[in-house]
Structure formats: structure tokens, C-alpha cells
Structure 1
Amino acid sequence: MYFHVQSLIHDIAQDEPDPAAANALQEGLGGQFGEMRTMMQYLFQAMNFRGPAAKPYRDLIQGIGTEEISHVELIGTTISRLLDGSPRYQGKVTDPVDKPGAGGAIPLELALSKGNIHHYLVGAQGALPVDAVGNPWSGSYVYNSGNLVLDLLYNLMLESTGRLQKCRIYEMTENKTARSTISYLIVRDQAHENGYAKALETLGVNWKTLLPIPKTNAEKFPEVKKLLDLGLHSKQYTFDLATQSEAGKIYQGLSPSNDGSTLLADEQAPVGVPSVIAPERLEEFSPGLDPELMELIQATADLEMAEVDASYGPVTGK
């Protein structure tokens, strides 16, 4: 059972729209080694897990899988913001949809030459469940052998490859919106590398100097260094409202990254940042609310704002 908090797990910096960067980020969302893959793979492994004696391993996989849901939300929202409007198009949302902008630009002109045209034709300036060349995400990506050691090895490979790709995407764009999310995912992928590596350590693996993969100089990526200084690469959350997770039995001790840090799993979840809904895009006819629909939405909102009884019970923090 999952609960949703209307906050993003990490703040997204503001910058100009950049459809090319948005398309590169599609690989980190819907590619073979993207966030949709990690989310689905870990959740299926957790759902199919067998062996009560190995519960700490199941809890570790499940906790990381739950965090990956928030990563899908984060990277998808980032893609939407990178597509939200046209750079240097100075038209106003109240203008007629066919009115030229600065220099004679038209609202969706860049869709013909930048990024993925489906972001504009199909997605109304929003993220899609595809990779950077438009291939649909496939459930065949999910690896769930049922063998604990094999699954942990595969998960470590998945986190390492995803981290490698995100380091490459970071080098492709200077856009602050893109880099703020990419940097966070680079650091959290390392935290997940550490989690799966530590689990394999308990099963006899000695990593020595192999991790992290890839080896990067934190000073080279200033946004990454800021997050490393906060220790986010050596921390894992439980996302467990009932405080029953035993993942902390594994996620502890010296980091397998051999950076002198200590692994911590003593937090339920990060605080997050407020989640803000983007304004309408009239040039996309989205969402296209007329006065009658607005009245209906307001009436529905009034009902939903009524006090809701908590059916789950009080949250007990650690």
C-alpha cells in the first residue's frame, strides 16, 4: 500500500525551456536503464520476494523501489518544465494562439527542429513513457529471477548504468532545470549502489576499490558536490509508515564506495519541496477549460477540501 504526499522529493531549479535537454532526459525516464525501469523492477522483486528469513533484503529492495516512484515523478515533472513554453517566445497566454511572438516566432515552431516532436504533438509539452529516440518503455526490461544474489547483482548493474548515463546527460546541457534533477539522481543512484553493494557484502562479496561506478570527481559537478556534502549518497529512506522495515540491518556500516562515509537508514522519508501545478498552455489547447468546466472543478474542489478522517492512524516517526 502506498501513500502520496503532494511534494516533490527534490527542488527543480528554474531556467529557460529546453526541448533538446527534455528529450535527453527521456532516456533517464523511459530508457532501458531509466527510472521507470528501476521502479518497476524493484517493486516486482519485492512483490515476488520469498523467504521470511531474508526480510531485511526485501525491505531494502522495497524501500528503494518506493523511492523510485518519486524519481519517476521528479524526472517526469522536470521534462514537463523543460517543455513548458518556447524559449525566447514572448507571446502571452492571453494572446490569440496564432499571434507571432518576438522576431515573428510562433509558439510551437521549435517542435520541428528540437528534441522529440511527440512532446508537442502527443504529450502537450509533457513527459512520455519512451526513451530518447521515442521507443516505448517495455515491461521486458524488468529482471526478477527470484534468486536473491542474481537480483542484487542485476540491481547494482542497473543503478550503476543509470548513474553513468545521467553523468553523460549532465555533460550534454547547461540548463539549470535539467542539471538540478540530474545531479540529485546521480547522488541518489550512488546511495542505491551502496545499498545493493552492502547487501552483497553481507553475502560474501568484497568490493575493494571497485565502487562507485562511474568514478566521478564531485568537484567537477558543483550541484553534485553540494548534495554529496549533505551525505545523500550514504543515506537510504524506509518510506515505511508503520516503522516495520528491517532494511537498516543491511544499510549500515562503512560505505562500499570507500569514501569514509557511514551508511544511514534512520529516516522515514525526506521532507521534499512543494509540488506546483504548471499553468495552462493555450497554444497546446491544454487543458482547455471553459467557464462551465471551471465551475464544476471549483464545486468538486470545495467537496474535496472537506475534512477527511485519517483511516490509517497516526504516523510514528523514528
Structure 2
Amino acid sequence: MFFHVQNLINDIVADEPDPAAANALQEGLGGQFGEMRTMMQYLFQAMNFRGPDGKPYRDLIQGIGTEEISHVELIGTTISRLLDGSPQYQGKPTDPLDKPGSGGATPLNIALDHSNIHHYLVGAQGALPVDAVGNPWSGSYVYNSGNLVLDLIYNLMLESTGRLQKCRIYEMTDNKTARSTISYLIVRDQAHENAYAKALETLGINWKSALPIPKTNAEKFPEVKKLLDLGLQSKQYTFDLGNQSQAGKIFQGLSPSNDGTELDASEQAPAGVPSVIAPERFEEFSPGLDPELLALIQATAEIESAEVTLSFGPLEKGPAIKPVG
């Protein structure tokens, strides 16, 4: 089973909207080496895992796959925030929809030449399950050979390539919103490189001269250096409520990155930060629940509640839905 804590795994720093950065980040979400790929690949490998004696390896892969779910949430939310409005348009709910925004800007003109137009035509200024050129994410990306060594090698390659791409995306933008997420994922990709390299070390392969891949000297990125100084590249979480994970049998000892740190799998999960729902986008005709729809929802809820009461007796009432806007 999976449980959802309504926190983001890392804070997203506020900055101006940047649709071009949002589109670059789509590669890190829905590209061949993006977060949707890592999430699905590791979860399928864990579900299909065979051999009870290999449980520590299954637990390691499953724990990383579970973390990748939160990475999909983080990067998708970041893309949405980068698309939320435009630098020239700060429209108000009371504005006519055809009224130009501040500075004479048409509300959605930025969609024409600064981004993936589908973010505005299809996604209402939100993330999409596509890569940076709009190709839909494909299940054919998922590699699950059934052979432990092959899968671990492939996973290490996947994390290394994903980290390489995120380092490139970092250098494409100076937007603080984008960089706060990119830098976190660069460091966590290194942690996952370490995890799979350590697993392969237990099978006789020494990676100390090769890792981290790529040799980016990522400490030159100030946001990355702060996280490396915290040792985030050498932590791996279990995301295991039942305290049954054996991943710590593998994720221990000196880091394969040869940076002098010790691997630590003692934490269940990071603390995270509060998750905030974005405001409505009236120029996208996505205003949330209007008063008429709210009234219909309340009426329907009262009918359904009455039916439940007839069958099971009165239930405790929760808070009523409050109008939006």
C-alpha cells in the first residue's frame, strides 16, 4: 500500500513565471530519462522482483521508486508554478476576459513564442506527461529485464543520464523556482546513483573511480552545494511505515561517490514542506468551483448523506465546502 502525506518533498522557491524554463523541465518529467520513467521503472522492477533471498535489493529499488512518486509531484508542481500567469499579465478575477493585462499585454500572448503552446491550449497552465518537444510519455521506456545485475546497471545509467540532463537544464535558466527544484533533483539523483552503485559493489563491481556521473563539479551550483553540505547525496529513505525494509543492508558504508561521506538509510522519509494549491486562472477558463456548481455539489451531498443515514444511522458532519474565490 502507499500513503500520501500532503507535503512536497522539497520547497519550491517563489519567482516570476517562466514558460521557457517550464518547457525545459518537461524533459525532466516526461522525457526518456525523466522522473515519470524512474518512478515507473523502479516500481515495476519491485513488483516483478523474484527471489526472497534478494529482499534487500527489492526493498532498495522499491524505496527509491516510492521517492520518485514524490519527485513527479515536485517537478510537476514546479512546472505549474512556472506557467502560472505571465510576467506581463497580472489579471484580476473581476477583469473582463478580453481586457489586456498590465502593460498592454494580451493575457495568453506569451504562449505563442516562449513555451510549449500545449501548456496553455491543453493543460491550462499546468504540467503535462510529455517531454520538452511534446512527445507523450511512453511505457516502452520502462526497463525490467528480470535479471538483478542488468536492472541495477540500467538503473545506474538512468540516474546518471537524468542527472546529466538536469545539470544542463540548471544552466538554461536563472529562475529561482526552476533552480530550487532542479538542484534538489541533481543531488537526489546522485544519492540514487550511490544506491545502485553500492548494490552493484555488493555483487563485485567497484565504481569509485567512475562516480559521480557526470563529473559536473556540481558544487559550483550554489543551491546544489547547500544540499551537498547537508549530506543529502548520501541519504536514502525507506518510505516504509512497517519498519520492514532491509535496504539498509545495502545502503551503508563509504559512499561510492568517493566524497568521504557515509551512506545512511536510517530515515523513513524527509520532513517535506507544506503543499499549497495554486490559485484559479480565469484567463484559462479554469476558475475552480463557481457558486452554481457549489450549490449543486452541496445538494447532491445532502441527498447522498440522507441515503447513508437511512442505511447506517447518522454520521459525523465534516466541514462544508467553502466557496472558491
Please classify the TM superposition score into its range, dividing by the shorter chain length.
over 0.9
5 Å matches for 1:300-311? none
The CA deviation at 1:97 is 1.1
5 Å matches for 1:131-170? 131-170=131-170
Deviations 1:3-32 (A, max 9, x none): 001100000000000000000000000000
Name the residue aligned to 1:257.
257
Name the residue aligned to 1:209.
209
Name the residue aligned to 2:193.
193
Deviations 1:70-103 (A, max 9, x none): 0000000000000000112232232111111222
Name the residue aligned to 2:236.
236
Name the residue aligned to 1:52.
52
Distance across 1 between alignment mates of 2:319 and 2:201: 49
Name the residue aligned to 1:220.
220
Opposite residue 123 of structure 2, the aligned amino acid is G
TM-score between both structures, scaled by the size of structure 2: 0.91
Distance across 2 between alignment mates of 1:51 and 1:64: 19
Name the residue aligned to 1:130.
130
Opposite residue 152 of structure 1, the aligned amino acid is L
Q: What SS class does the counterpart of residue 86 from structure 1 fall into?
A: coil
5 Å matches for 1:238-317? 238-295=238-295
Name the residue aligned to 2:98.
98
Name the residue aligned to 2:305.
none
Distance across 2 between alignment mates of 1:296 and 1:230: 50
Runs of 4+ in 1 over 6 A off after TM superposition: none
Distance across 1 between alignment mates of 2:167 and 2:151: 24
User: Any stretches of 5+ residues in structure 2 without a counterpart?
Assistant: 302-315, 321-325
Q: What SS class does the counterpart of residue 195 from structure 2 fall into?
A: helix
Distance across 1 between alignment mates of 2:8 and 2:318: 21
Distance 1:194 1:39, change over 3 A: same
Root-mean-square deviation (Å): 1.7
2:42 touches 2:65 (CA, 8 Å); kept in 1?
A: yes
Greater Rg by CA: 2
Name the residue aligned to 1:32.
32
Identity of aligned residues (%): 87
Name the residue aligned to 1:171.
171
2:88 touches 2:103 (CA, 8 Å); kept in 1?
A: no
Opposite residue 166 of structure 1, the aligned amino acid is K
2:236 touches 2:265 (CA, 8 Å); kept in 1?
A: yes
Deviations 1:161-194 (A, max 9, x none): 0000000000000000000000000000000000
User: Any stretches of 5+ residues in structure 1 without a counterpart?
Assistant: 307-318
